[in-house]
Each structure stands twice: as C-alpha cells, then as structure tokens.
Amino acid sequence: MIRAAVLGSPINHSLSPLLHTSAYAELGIENDYSAIEVGSGELQEFLKGKENGWTGFSLTMPLKEEVLKLADVVDPIAARITSANTLFRKDGKWIASSTDLTGVISALNSRGFESGSKAIILGAGATARAVAGALDSRVDHIQVISRNPEREDAMRACVLTSTIEFSPWEYTAGISKADLLVNTTPLYGADLFVDYLPSKIDSLFFEVLYKPWPTLLLAGWKERGGESLDGIDLLVHQGLDQIELFSGRTFDRAAMAQFLRRKALATLE
C-alpha cells in the first residue's frame, strides 16, 4: 500500500494525483495519493507524526528549498541545486532528492536531445537550477536570462563543467538561435517574448509550465515550426522517478510515459 501526497501552495491545479494514481493502478498497486495544501513555513509542522504509514511526498513550490533543512538526508544532486521535489522514507529516515533534474534529462532524451553548443534558460529559481544541473556537460555554454541577479551564485553552483553567463531580462535574437531554450518562469512570465520571435524557428523549446495550456510562447514557437517539449513532459518524467522510488518497482518507462501523458492531456485539451 502506497500512501503519498503532493504538497505545496497553491496545490489545487496539480496533476500529480492523477498521474500517480493512474500509474499505481496500471501496476496493480493499492494506493492513496492526494494533494495537500502546505504553505511556506508549514512543512515542519505537517511532517510531525508522518513517520509511520506514509511512503513519501512530492513537493512543489514553496517547499523545495524549505525541505532541505528538515530532511535527515539530502542527496548530492538536491544539495548541489539547493532544491528537492521528493521526500521519502528509507531505513527510518526522511530522504530529500530531486527528480526535477532527472526528469529534465529523461524528457530531453525522449526527444533525442543529447548535446548542443548553447542553451538559454529563462528564469533563475528552483526549477531553473534543476535545468542548469541537467544541462551541465550536455551543452558547452548556458546563458541565463532573469530578473534576479541575486540568484546568480546559486545558479553557478549547479554547473560544474559547462560555461555559464547571465543576462538581464530582455529579449535577445539569440533566444531562437540557441540549440535549446528552456522557460522556467512563473505563470505568463515569458509570454512577452512571443512578439519578437522570427517567422521561422528550427531549434528546440522546453516549456516547463502546463498551466495555462499551452502558454503563448509555446504556441507561438510551434506555429513558427520550432520543435518543443512541454510541462507535461517534465511532469511525467519526474513523476516516473518518484513512482519508482515510492513503489520500488521497475516498469516499461517509455510505455508508462505515453500512458500518463495521454491521461494528463485529456484534462487540459
């Protein structure tokens, strides 16, 4: 029996309960997976008494950094990107890890993106750090365009091999010319860039949001011929890693990814 939940605030839009319960049902595993509103500063109190009977938790904002101070063990990836989206029990301890980073890698692999000369990341928050860590050594150079220069040190710490630079929040023609563009900004954050896109695009865009669906930038990119990954791809692939952790089961990931993507799209289209 798996008992788990996705925690965060706001949480009512989350598709994680749909994906997790669908996957466990497909695997024949009894489960209880829900969405629970837990705001900033509330995680420690919430976790009291949850040592028994709970398998683990998926974490969304604003808890991805807060959990690092509460877990018994923080895995090396989560420590490097100072963000964890997964908390699970193992050997009597709470383990914090990041399937955001591994989810980005799996999503890119699913579209055949293994390496490139340059990637651009829009934003510099927790998801952006996971993306930077995932792209490290995959691309030669990472450019971060953000409104928050105070986040530069945390972003630099995520990159060990690739070179990285930071630019102010404004449109640059290079956005459509990089091998990969990733938008990690919050709701409507990057929609203004759509007005500046060229008429023809042939590079890959990864939009990590799935609400609204699709974002203006994602729709504009596809209209101009660009290839794309979207927030459902990330949600599914990071979710697959959580499902493996919570269930202890292995399965056909490609088939399960397609199955869960269909489930998610049915609620959005």
With a cut of 90, say whether residue 72 has pLDDT above it.
yes
**Number of C-beta neighbours around residue 224 at 10 A:** 16
With a cut of 90, say whether residue 52 has pLDDT above it.
no
- Give the residue-averaged pLDDT of 88-117: 95
With a cut of 90, say whether residue 242 has pLDDT above it.
yes
With a cut of 80, say whether residue 172 has pLDDT above it.
no
Chain center to CA of 69: 21
Residue with tokens 């630019």: 167
Least-confidence region, from 56-70, 129-143, 173-187: 173-187
Determine the pLDDT at residue 268: 82
Q: What is the reported pTM?
A: 0.92
CATH 3.40.50.9100 corresponds to the domain 102-229: no
| Residues that are catalytic | 64
**Number of C-beta neighbours around residue 190 at 10 A:** 23
What are residue 117's phi and psi, to 5 degrees? -80, -40
**Number of C-beta neighbours around residue 101 at 10 A:** 27
Domain with CATH 3.40.50.10860 in the chain: 2-97+233-268
CB distance 79 to 68 below 8 Å: yes
Domain with CATH 3.40.50.720 in the chain: 102-229
Question: 186 pLDDT band (50/70/90 cuts)?
Answer: confident
Determine the pLDDT at residue 175: 84
With a cut of 80, say whether residue 187 has pLDDT above it.
no
What CATH number belongs to 2-97+233-268? 3.40.50.10860
| Model pLDDT for residues 151-166, shown as the tens digit of each residue | 999 999 999 999 999 9
Q: Which residues, at least 6 apart from 134, have a Cβ–Cβ distance to it below 8 Å?
A: 101, 102, 104, 105, 108
Pull the structure tokens for residue 160: 């060990």
